[in-house]
Chain A
Amino acid sequence: MTRYVVRRLLLFLPTLWVIATLTFFLMRLAPGGPFNAEREIPQAARAALAQRYGLDRPLAVQYLTFIAGAARLDFGPSYKFPTRQVREIILEGFPVSAELGGWALLVALLAGIPLGIIAAQRRNTAADTAVMAVALAGVSVPGFVLGPLLVLAFSLGLPWLPPALWEGPQSRVLPVLTLAAAYVAYVARLTRAGMLEVLRQDFIRTARAKGLPERVVVLKHALRLGLLPVLSYLGPAAAAIIMGSLVVEQVFAVPGLGRYLVQGAFNRDYTLVMGVVLFYAAFLMALNLLVDLAYAWLDPRVELK
């Protein structure tokens, strides 16, 4: 087990290196540079900027400097926001995105799992159809439509909640619901599928034959295995929900990390893009590792090697 974890962690390094290298060169391939602007800056100033950020040196040197910096978790200052270090931007934005994503994930699980169980237990009934229809709608309606609709209803129509900004508990409600909606749907569908699979198996029949109440059969015996698909989905979902909430962050003016990835690429903010991409990659890999560990814990048939 420990060996497994250590080996996985060691594998992180080459993966991150490949990602860093690809990102570095792909960013340089995009036309233009970080200091282009509609108003041209004088040659001398351009040269001074290039020198300050080491952009006047050969690409190979820039690459090595960058890798050396990344190894020390130091990506340098953002080109676009020169008073801030990339590390600072990540450390300030990530907790916000994590809070938003954490709540959304919690809502998705708390709503999605019960819905999925209900649908599985009463499959092919009206309840099942209703749950799956709602789930389908949740998956289909994107955040940039749902968010404004919720704002329209609960901020502008009924003045209950703030339409945007990240201040106070009330401001969390609409962004969390918007972000959670699609995931509720996924979780419900996965739970339903997983439960249907498990409920057909022999040990469930045995449990029922023992005369256990259906509640115990479902919640104690079936659920543990029925949740495996949800669990394997959880790793990528957590990463996506926490880092990929840029639409929700934009619509609700949430000062999270999600927006920097896209903004940074548009601005040719090399250091910021590098920092955020690597952070995201490491985060995703760490979550996947956690999921694999949880898998082993939930399903005795899985062995970590």
Chain B
Amino acid sequence: MLSCGMRRSLPWAELALAALLAGCAPGGGRPVQSAAGAPRYFGSVRPPRGDVLRFNNGAEPETIDPALVSGQPDGRLARALFEGLATSDPRTLEPHPGQAARWETSADGLTWTFHLRPGLVWSDGVPLTALDFVWSWLRVLSPATAARNAGLLYAIAGAEGFNRGAVTDPSHVGLAAPDDTTLVVRLASPVPYLLQLAAYPTWLPVPRHAVERWGARWTRPGHLVSNGAFVLERWRQNDRFELVRNPRYRGAARVRLDRIVAYSVDDLSTSSNLYQSGRIDWNTSGYVPSPFVPHLRDKADFRSAPFQAVYFYSMNVTRRPFDDVRVRRALNLAVDREAIARDLLKGTRAPWGRLTPQGYPGYPAPPPLGHDPARAREALAQAGFPGGRGFPRISILFSTSEDHRRIAEAVQAMWTKELGIPVELRNMEWGSTLQAMTTLQYDVARRSWIGDYLDPGTFLEIMRGGDGNNRTGWSDARYDRLLLAARGEADPAARLRLLGRAEALLLADGPVIPIYHYSTVELVKPYVRGIWSNALDTHPLEEVWIDHAWRPGTERRAAELTAMPAAERRHGPMSERMVPLLGHRAMQAPRPPAPAADAASRWAHRP
């Protein structure tokens, strides 16, 4: 899960932003090109000298060890340095051969055989074999590694038991390397999205010889050996990473960037200033201050797309009166998501009535929760609180952020007005909020969840009874049975139907009050090619290049004809601005942007 990357909005940082807005908001900036009809950009559009990509990677990564990576900034670097079995298409996220040239699946979907490309080497020339993958994955699963995302490998037979310490013999994990280029993976149950999963950083191979030689410090420049398109040259904390091309990368001839400079700037305004002044070419999603967005929407270098994450409230069912499903329903029905999205968020985000986001082809999503104050009052009366009489005082817990506060105030007002119940707000710093949620010391809490791979399971699994991320005390045997049945279902369509039924049950009876759907919001200079908006906000940097032929006004045409990279050629020219998600329609809200606070929750789940 993209959970970390510590983006923290300190109170003064918000004040600073407010101070900046008066003059510095993009609307006040001078467009580089203001000729009638010509596209206008946010700030300088002079390309860098040479084939260099400079971007803000966001908050300082905790680590770039693929096994331990959990934050988005961390993962972006891990993916630039390492390559897994498959890579994902920068636009559609569909898997392409990576270190594996091809693969096949057994009829029951339980055995996957990957054939590595011959002659693979690490950046120091040491050969890379199927055993490297086996060793790397066992390392993730070993309890001593304490990998947060080890659960992403539980698809492998025996992996869960090994990770939990129940089994100590690694030969019980379903991994085998019959020869140097063949890797056989046995699964616990059919996983139709295995290749999606395998593109996640946790599945990347790591160099055993470097890890064993340097221990925890193997990721430092000079020690780090990689197999991806780039190698690490420099890492200065809270400042930058510099990556240079890896001449031993299997696709080195295709890589067009010589160097990547990834800055670790965690302040949103600072990041946007760097972009505006032309010192970075790409202001990644989550680092565009939300008050800028209305002014930026019409710029040609502004991009937004639905992002696989949902903002929601959860209820602690171990406390009265949330143990009563009628109370949970009443609270859900009394929330006017449309009003929050329209009035509070100014249409920058889409109201959302489900736990799973949009964009899963074939997923029979249940109807979203709606707004119905009359039925809400009825449900509350049935629960024994007619007109809210006798209802205990409840509190909404949220971590420090202006956006969370405004939404909490709105929900407070809705519940008080529609249901007549007493509601108070409870604001704490992030670490304390998290602790209160984990130990179930709350009534209603603000949360968000980001999907790891394109599958509704990545959302629904968190509400399984006893799951560490459940944090509501809610557990329903029917729900758990549906998820279990879905896990064992070999037919992908039938599997999605089971998940759809599970979500319907969750929405009807569960502890979740969905509020809105996230979106990516980023700024990309027009001369940068190969960066596409997608639902996971992942951008393979080996596909990126600097178009030195670009001139203001010429736009994409000339460049497309002369030099279109492979990924673009496959799909034909297409506007980079609005990319449909896996062939589905983009969300209804026109280019919904993420607010400043999103950055926090997005990278850190924490505004």
Q: Could you tell me which A residues sit within 8 Å of B by CB distance? A: 30-33, 36-49, 52, 77, 80-84, 89, 92-93, 142, 144-145, 147-149, 151-152, 155-156, 159, 162-166, 247, 250-253, 255-256, 259, 262-263, 266-268
Contact = CB atoms under 8 A, between A and B. Distances in A.
A142 B468 CA distance: 43
A159 B68 CA distance: 41
A258 to B, nearest CB: 10
A255 B144 CA distance: 32
B24 interface: yes
A162 B279 contact: yes
A44 B165 contact: yes
A62 B515 CA distance: 43
B263 A253 contact: yes
B164 A255 contact: no
B171 interface: no
B588 interface: no
Contact of A41 (B12, B19, B146, B429): B146
B10 to A, nearest CB: 7
Contact of A37 (B4, B16, B65, B432): B4
B285 interface: no
B434 A92 contact: no
B6 A80 contact: yes
Contacts of B8: 263, 266
B236 interface: yes
Interface string B185-220: 000000000000000000000000000000011011
23 contacts: A30-B432, A32-B435, A37-B605, A39-B70, A40-B471, A41-B148, A44-B163, A44-B164, A47-B143, A82-B216, A83-B63, A92-B236, A92-B237, A93-B238, A145-B16, A147-B16, A156-B276, A163-B270, A253-B267, A255-B237, A255-B238, A263-B6, A266-B431
A82 B143 contact: no
A33 B222 CA distance: 32
Contacts of A48: 143-146
Contact of B63 (A40, A81, A263): A81
Given A39-B3, A81-B63, 9 more contacts: A31-B432, A31-B436, A41-B468, A46-B146, A48-B143, A83-B217, A156-B29, A253-B270, A255-B239
Interface of B: 1, 3-4, 6, 8, 10, 12-13, 15-16, 19-20, 23-24, 29, 43-44, 60, 62-63, 65, 68, 70, 143-151, 163-165, 216-217, 219-220, 236-239, 263, 265-267, 269-270, 273-274, 276-277, 279, 429-432, 434-436, 438, 447, 467-469, 471, 604-606
A263 B606 CA distance: 14
A156 B164 CA distance: 54
A84 B247 CA distance: 29
A209 to B, nearest CB: 53
Given A31-B431, A32-B432, A83-B219, A148 B16 contact: yes
A268 to B, nearest CB: 6
Contacts of A144: 12-13, 15-16, 19
A268 B431 contact: yes
A159 B277 CA distance: 8
B70 A37 contact: yes
Contacts of B270: 163-164, 250-253
Contact of B265 (A30, A147, A159, A253): A253
A149 B17 CA distance: 11
A251 B16 CA distance: 8
A37 to B, nearest CB: 5
Nearest to A267: B6
Given A44-B165, A52-B146, A164 B16 contact: no
A43 B164 contact: yes
A14 B459 CA distance: 53
Contacts of A267: 6, 431
For the complex of A and B, 4 pairs with smallest distance between CB atoms: A40-B468, A38-B605, A32-B435, A255-B239
Contacts of B237: 81, 84, 89, 92-93, 255
B65 to A, nearest CB: 8
Contacts of A80: 6, 62
A273 to B, nearest CB: 12
Given A48-B146, A155-B273, A42 B6 contact: no
Nearest to B17: A148
Nearest to A157: B23
> Which of A40, A42, A83, A266 is packed against the most chain B CB atoms within 10 Å?
A83
B364 to A, nearest CB: 27
A164 B434 contact: no
Contacts of B19: 144-145, 148-149
A225 B430 CA distance: 50
Contacts of B65: 83
Given A37-B70, A144-B12, A163-B274, A81 B434 contact: no
Contacts of A247: 12, 16
Contacts of A84: 237
A147 to B, nearest CB: 7
Contacts of B471: 40
Contacts of B6: 80, 263, 266-267
B150 A42 contact: yes
Contacts of B144: 48
B15 to A, nearest CB: 6
Contact of B438 (A40, A142, A155, A266): A40
A61 B15 CA distance: 43
Nearest to A52: B146
Contacts of A37: 3-4, 70, 148, 434, 605
Nearest to B467: A40
A166 B239 contact: yes
Contact of A163 (B4, B68, B277, B432): B277
A266 B429 contact: yes
A235 to B, nearest CB: 26
A164 B60 contact: no
A80 B63 CA distance: 9
Nearest to A163: B273
A92 to B, nearest CB: 6
A255 B467 CA distance: 39
Nearest to B11: A144
Contacts of B429: 266
B62 A148 contact: no
A41 B70 CA distance: 11
A250 B11 CA distance: 12
A57 B130 CA distance: 40
Contacts of B43: 156
B432 A152 contact: no
Contacts of A41: 146, 148, 468
